[in-house]
Every structure is written in structure tokens, then in C-alpha cells.
Amino acid sequence: RAVILTGVGVPVVGSVLKAEEIHQNDPRQRLVILGSGWGAVSVINQLDPKKFHVTVVSPTNYFLFTPLLPSATVGTLELRSLIEPVRRLLSRLGGYYLEGRADDIDFENQLVEVAGVNDSEGRKFYVPYDKLVIAVGSESMTHGVEGLEHCNFLKSITDARDIRRKVMENFEKASLPTTTDEERRQLLSFVVCGGGPTGVEFAAELYDFLNEDLVGYFPAISPEEVQVSIIQSAEHILNTYDLKISEMTEAKFKRDNINVVTNSRVVKVNPTSVVYKDKSTGKQEEVPFGVCLWSTGVGMTPLVKSLVQKLPAGSQSNKHAIETDRYMRVLGTPEGTVYAIGDCATIPQPHFVDQVMNMLKENDTNGDNVLSYEEFQVLANKIIAKHNVLKVFLGHLDKVFEEYDKDHNGTLDLDEIRAFLVDAEKGCTALPATAQVANQQGKFVGTRINTLHDIENDPVAVAALPQFNYKHLGSLAYIGGGDAALDLGQGLVYGGIGSEYMWRSVYFSEQVSIRTRLLLLMDWSKRALFGRDISK
Ligand code: FAD
Ligand code: MG
Ligand code: MG
Ligand code: MG
Ligand code: MG
């Protein structure tokens, strides 16, 4: 027996009904949002309460400010300071929250199948929607590696709490007189698998903790006994950032005695050691660990996996996320009812090289098989008009032309044009799984459905609504010792004195409420005055 939610949020037992047949006592459109993370909250903050009856379904009843989560693993920040209750965020809308996990979606009848989180009997109910936003995020990628049950992850509050407890436990254990030297070496070895921003920031926080608090509080342990290692499969850590940032971070970590192993793949995790293989030599190495953090990229949640499989054949082809159009509408679902945003969503890339090569004839107005600068300008503007991701080229076209005119003869021949297109297409790779993307997509969808509400019967107005356009505001990572690496895009790199404050202020202004801002401020001042909280 299914349970149906009526308009006022009271669950009633009944059979599955069509979405239109229920909820007659509230004229507002029913908007259901799955998830309470970055994407979901950005939608919520845009909505007009008069227009929508909002229900959020999520197993976590709070929003988590993930960028500062690594700071919570060693007690720099308190976990409570990083979260904001969903119910508080929903109060402006008079919205409803259900602590549950979406297990399935019936796209035809517009129903979400939900299982309550702490319901030992596993009872399920349906939540009907007029519009649905899927923002369920991602899961850690396993790459099929054996033994991940011995690793820690860093995605949720519980994960951070587990790491913090284990770190403190290991320092305490290492301080006991009965602990052997070999045991100490293992207990005090921290291994990070994955050299992305999460792994790097965790290593940096550990380093700060060792330098600022360890000496004073754990006299039995000398800093040299502690080893932090990062194992990265790519050539560089922070490999999605500007190369200068990667090199700067690697140099700093080297000075800090953080062991950075690149170009190596983890093959197995044992209860107290990691086995990795150097990709070029094929040699295997084993490092003992007391804590091993697994942070090697993101994959699909079970819900997303099953949705991608059940959507009509041919509509979905990506292995890491749900594909949407440029309005964030899920491909293969009934027109305009389902959106997907954030880590769980991706927009398929254009593949325009061949397309444009075919268009070339039209742009070669004098038919000499090469493009003059004027002809190139017309072509480039056409591409940019269609693929607004390429807007970065606007205003720099003369430089682009010069760069690709390899033989400097003042025209682009077919090979030169192809080289330009191939590089340009690389610039439209899928958007990264970041809070910045989820936030912008959430704002976009929130704004879009607000507007749609009023113009839905006017197809001309609907067609004129804008597509999603990502604006990269830069990437940043805290790298320890008060330094942050900021990649502001277009080759602008900044690090060093003062960057920590810049780093903090960026996140500070992005906080969702004054309450959390105050909590953070208190944590930072408390740490400055008294050091970290080193209790478990
Ligand atoms: P999330 O924010 O993960 O939210 C997903 C939500 O869906 C959660 O509330 C979850 O409980 C819920 N959910 C899961 N399954 C279901 C289900 N079946 N039904 C209903 N609800 C469900 N990005 C940056 O831009 N800058 C950073 O500095 C940065 N640092 C990071 C540090 C860490 C430690 C981590 C883990 C991530 C970091 N990120 C950062 C990435 C960023 O957090 C994610 O890209 C972002 O959270 C994605 O937003 P989302 O809404 O797609 O997913
Ligand atoms: Mg979300
Ligand atoms: Mg995405
Ligand atoms: Mg020509
Ligand atoms: Mg030339």
C-alpha cells in the first residue's frame, strides 16, 4: 500500500493516483526537490513562495558547507558550524521536509518513491510532483579497488567526525609507553589516496595541526615521526588547476615534508597498509597507515544509476551522471517536468569539429580553401553564438588567429583550422563536480521555474528563456601554513601571504546564514586564541 501526500503535507494511505487527481486543495504547483546540498539549497533560495508548494526529500536534514569540511577533521572548525538545518532554509517558503531517500521515480505518473530514513520497517510512500529537481549529488568512486572498507571518506559530517576521532585516537595510542616503534610508525602515517582539492586540503590541515598543536600537546611524539603521504594517479596533484598552482603546491609540500607520490595507482588497501604501483616503472610499493583517506573522484549514487538505466534507450549515454539539455532538463523525461543539477548531472558536449569543418565552405567566401582573418572572424562568431562556453575567445580573436596561423602567412589553412577547433572543443569539457557549478545550476533552475510559472502557456516566451551558462569564478584550495592556492582562470594564479584570508573571506561571504557565519567566526577566533580542540 502506498501512502500519498496531500497538499497540506498530511500523509494518507491510498492507491497510486495520477498527479492531477490529488492535491486539489492547494492551487500552487508542487515542486519536489531531491537532496539538501549545494544544488538543492540554491534552488530553494530562488523560489517564490506564492508560486510553489515545495517539498524537499533528503536523508540529511541539513545543508553541509563542504568546502570547509577538511578543516573539521582536525578540529580547526567545529562540525556544527558547517551545517544549516533544511527546515530553517525552507521556512521562508512554508515548505515541507521529509527525512527520506528517493528510491525510484515514476516519470510517467510524476511520483517519487521514498523510503523513510529511520524507519526500521522500511515503509515507503509516494510524493507526487508537477516539477521535480534531482540534486542528489555523487558518491566516492571506488575504481574497483579492493579493501576500501579500511579507508575513511570525506563527504559527510559523519565522515569528518570519524576521521577526527581516529586521528586523535592514533596520537593518544602512539603516546602510550607500551606502543612499539613500528606501531607508532604505522599509527602516525596518514595516507591520502587522490590528489584533488579534498585530499590536498586534508593533508594541509594535518600539517597545520602537527605544526601548531602537536608539539605543545603531545610531548612524547616528535614531528619527524609523523608522515603524511599523498598518492595521485595523474602527473600532478591538483591537476584540474593551473599547472603553476600544482607546482607551487608540490614545492610547498616538499618543504613541509609531505610525501607526494604522483603517476601512481593504488592497487589494494590492506587493513593497515596501501599498495600502489608506479605507472611508468610498474614497481609496487607498500606504505603503512594509521588513517587512509580515499578521495579519488566522484561517481553515481544508486538512485542515479537506476534512473539512467530506466530512461528511454538512447537518451542517456554518460557513465558518470544524468545527462540534461542546456536548460538542465533531464533527457528522455516528459518535456519540462524534471531537472537535474550539480554533481549528479552533466550536459553532453557538442562534438562540433566535424560539424564546423563542413560549414567551412560557407565561410570561405572567396573559395580559396583558406580563411583570411575576416573570414575566420565570421566563423568564430558563429561558433561562439552557438556554444556560449567559447565566449572566452571573444575579444582575443586576433591573438587566436595569430597563434593558429602556424606558418604565419596571414591565412588559416584546413589543418590550422582543425587544430583550432580541436583545442576549442577541449575548452568545452564537462563541468567539474564542484559546489560552484551546483550553486550556479541551482540558481538557474530556480529562476527558470519561477519565470515559467507565469509564462508556461506562451511558447514563444518559453523558447526565449536563456540556456544555462557557467561562469567560472576561480578555484581555490587551502594548502596549509596560512597559504591558499587560488586559480582565477586565464592564467591568473595567486598564493602566499594574505591568501588564507582571501580564501576564508570567499567562503565566508558564501555562507548561507548569519548564524553559521557567526559560528565560523567564533571557531576561527577560538583557534587563534586557544589552538585547536584536541579532544576526540
Ligand atoms: P551535494 O551537495 O552532495 O548534495 C547531495 C544531497 O542529496 C545531500 O543532501 C544528500 O543527503 C542527498 N541525497 C543523496 N541521495 C539521495 C536520495 N536518494 N534521495 C534524496 N536525497 C539524496 N566544491 C567547490 O566548488 N569548492 C570546494 O572547495 C569544494 N570542497 C569540497 C570539499 C569536500 C570535502 C567535498 C566532499 C566536496 C567539496 N566540493 C567543493 C564539491 C562540492 O561539495 C560538490 O560539488 C557539491 O556538494 C555538489 O552539490 P550537489 O547539490 O550536487 O550535491
Ligand atoms: Mg543538492
Ligand atoms: Mg555536474
Ligand atoms: Mg578564403
Ligand atoms: Mg597559415
In DSSP notation, 244-300 reads: HHHHHHHHHHHHTTEEEE-SEEEEEEETTEEEEEETTT--EEEEE-SEEEE---EE-
Tell the residue number behind the cell numbers 610547498, with chain if given: 252
Do 281 and 409 belong to one domain?
no
Would residue 387 count as lying in a domain?
A: yes
Task: State the CB neighbour count (10 A cutoff) for residue 237.
Answer: 29
Residue 354 contacts by C-beta under 8 Å, 6 or more apart in sequence?
Answer: none
Going by the DSSP 8-state scheme, the letter that residue 59 receives in this structure is S
> 38 pLDDT exceeds 70?
yes
Would residue 389 count as lying in a domain?
A: yes
Does the beta carbon of 135 sit less than 6 angstroms from any atom of ligand 1?
A: yes
CA 38 to ligand 1: nearest atom:
51
CA 438 to ligand 1: nearest atom:
49
Predicted confidence band of residue 367 (pLDDT cuts 50, 70, 90):
confident
How far is it, in rounded angstroms, from Cα 501 to Cα 129? 44
pLDDT of residue 22: 46
C-alpha closest to that of 33 among 136, 138, 132: 132
> 180 pLDDT exceeds 80?
yes
pLDDT: which is higher, 336 or 490 = 336
Number of domains observed in the structure of the chain: 3
pLDDT of residue 78: 85
> 202 pLDDT exceeds 60?
yes
- Cβ atoms of residues 55 and 30 within 8 Å: yes
Instruction: Count Cα neighbours of 501 within 13 Å in the Cβ-side half-sphere.
Output: 2
Q: Which segment of 6-20, 142-156, 312-326 scores lowest on mean pLDDT? A: 6-20
CA of 107 from ligand 2 middle (Å) equals: 20
Q: What is the mean pLDDT of the chain?
A: 85
CA of 363 from ligand 4 middle (Å) equals: 8
Do 449 and 304 belong to one domain?
yes
Give per-residue burial for 360-388: e unless 16+ CB within 10 Å, then b: beebbeeeeebbbeebbeebbeebbeebe
- Cβ atoms of residues 274 and 191 within 8 Å: yes
C-alpha closest to that of 188 among 163, 200, 170, 203: 170
pLDDT: which is higher, 62 or 395 = 62
CA of 344 from ligand 3 middle (Å) equals: 6
CA of 423 from ligand 4 middle (Å) equals: 21
- What mean pLDDT do residues 291-298 have? 94
> 17 pLDDT exceeds 50?
no
> 391 pLDDT exceeds 80?
no
Do 330 and 442 belong to one domain?
yes
Task: State the CB neighbour count (10 A cutoff) for residue 333.
Answer: 23
Do 446 and 381 belong to one domain?
no
- Cβ atoms of residues 289 and 186 within 8 Å: yes
Does the beta carbon of 192 sit less than 6 angstroms from any atom of ligand 1?
A: no
Mutate which of 55, 58, 139 for ligand 1? The one with the most ligand atoms within 8 Å of its CB, which is 58
Q: Which segment of 71-80, 146-155, 231-240, 462-471 scores lowest on mean pLDDT? A: 71-80
Do 491 and 512 belong to one domain?
yes
* Angle, CA 393 vertex, CA 392 and CA 399 arms, to 5°: 135
Do 246 and 269 belong to one domain?
yes
Residue 42, helix vs strand vs coil: helix
C-alpha closest to that of 291 among 209, 181, 202, 170: 170
Chain centroid to CA 392: how far?
23
Torsion of CA 283, 288, 292, 298, to 10 degrees: 10
Full residue range of the structural domain in which residue 363 is found: 353-426
Does the beta carbon of 321 sit less than 6 angstroms from any atom of ligand 1?
A: no
**ipTM associated with this complex:** 0.96
Q: What percent of the chain has pLDDT over 70?
A: 86
What the block records as the C-alpha cell of 3 is 501512502
Q: What is the largest CA-CA distance in the chain?
A: 86
Do 35 and 61 belong to one domain?
yes
> 128 pLDDT exceeds 80?
yes
Would residue 468 count as lying in a domain?
A: no
How far is it, in rounded angstroms, from Cα 106 to Cα 42? 25
Q: What is the phi-psi region of residue 250: left when phi exceeds 0, alpha when psi lies from -120 to 50, beta otherwise?
A: alpha
CA 103 to ligand 1: nearest atom:
18
Residue 525, helix vs strand vs coil: helix
C-alpha closest to that of 151 among 265, 59, 266: 266
Would residue 172 count as lying in a domain?
A: yes
Enumerate the H helices of 324-434 as residue ranges: 353-363, 373-386, 397-404, 414-426
Q: What strand order describes the sheet that includes 227-231? A: 258-261, 227-231, 189-193, 291-294
Residue 513 contacts by C-beta under 8 Å, 6 or more apart in sequence?
Answer: 84, 88
pLDDT of residue 499: 63
Does the beta carbon of 39 sit less than 6 angstroms from any atom of ligand 1?
A: yes
C-alpha closest to that of 28 among 3, 9, 2: 9
Residue 245's alpha-carbon distances to 205, 236, 360, 490, in angstroms, are 18, 10, 38, 13
Phi, psi of 155, deg, nearest 5:
-130, -30
Residue 171, helix vs strand vs coil: helix
CATH code of 170's domain: 3.50.50.100
Would residue 483 count as lying in a domain?
A: yes
> 427 pLDDT exceeds 70?
no
> 9 pLDDT exceeds 60?
no
CA of 377 from ligand 4 middle (Å) equals: 12
Which tens digit of pLDDT belongs to each residue from 248-281? 999 999 999 999 999 999 999 999 999 999 999 9
CA of 374 from ligand 5 middle (Å) equals: 14
How far is it, in rounded angstroms, from Cα 184 to Cα 416? 60
Do 505 and 447 belong to one domain?
no
Would residue 522 count as lying in a domain?
A: yes
Q: What percent of the chain has pLDDT over 90?
A: 49
Ligand number with the minimum distance to the CA of 372: 4
pLDDT of residue 392: 60
Do 314 and 446 belong to one domain?
yes
- Cβ atoms of residues 339 and 134 within 8 Å: yes
CATH code of 365's domain: 1.10.238.10
Q: Which segment of 44-48, 97-101, 413-417, 530-534 scores lowest on mean pLDDT? A: 530-534
Ligand number with the minimum distance to the CA of 156: 1
Does the beta carbon of 125 sit less than 6 angstroms from any atom of ligand 1?
A: no
Do 132 and 222 belong to one domain?
no
Does the beta carbon of 433 sit less than 6 angstroms from any atom of ligand 1?
A: yes
Predicted confidence band of residue 15 (pLDDT cuts 50, 70, 90):
very low
> 86 pLDDT exceeds 70?
yes
> 20 pLDDT exceeds 60?
no
Does the beta carbon of 57 sit less than 6 angstroms from any atom of ligand 1?
A: yes
CA 136 to ligand 1: nearest atom:
7
pLDDT of residue 153: 96
Chain centroid to CA 509: how far?
19
Predicted confidence band of residue 19 (pLDDT cuts 50, 70, 90):
very low
Do 399 and 512 belong to one domain?
no
pLDDT: which is higher, 271 or 19 = 271
Whole-prediction pTM: 0.84
The strand pairing partners of 128, in sequence order, are: 111
Does the beta carbon of 342 sit less than 6 angstroms from any atom of ligand 1?
A: yes
Does the beta carbon of 4 sit less than 6 angstroms from any atom of ligand 1?
A: no
Would residue 38 count as lying in a domain?
A: yes
Predicted confidence band of residue 429 (pLDDT cuts 50, 70, 90):
low
CA of 531 from ligand 4 middle (Å) equals: 68
C-alpha closest to that of 186 among 199, 175, 170: 170
pLDDT: which is higher, 48 or 422 = 48
Would residue 43 count as lying in a domain?
A: yes
CA of 259 from ligand 3 middle (Å) equals: 31
Does the beta carbon of 77 sit less than 6 angstroms from any atom of ligand 1?
A: no
Q: Which of 60-74, 184-198, 360-374 tops mean pLDDT?
A: 184-198
How far is it, in rounded angstroms, from Cα 40 to Cα 443? 9
Q: Which segment of 36-45, 334-343, 470-479 scores lowest on mean pLDDT? A: 470-479
Which tens digit of pLDDT belongs to each residue from 322-357? 999 999 999 999 988 999 999 999 998 767 777 677
Q: What strand order describes the sheet that includes 264-270? A: 264-270, 273-278, 284-288
Does the beta carbon of 438 sit less than 6 angstroms from any atom of ligand 1?
A: yes
Do 227 and 132 belong to one domain?
no
- Kindly tell me the burial class for residue 34, based on how many C-beta atoms sit within 10 Å of its own C-beta (0-12, 13-18, 19 or more): buried
CA of 411 from ligand 4 middle (Å) equals: 8
CA of 39 from ligand 2 middle (Å) equals: 4
Residue owning the nearest CA to atom 53 of ligand 1: 137
* Angle, CA 101 vertex, CA 7 and CA 340 arms, to 5°: 80
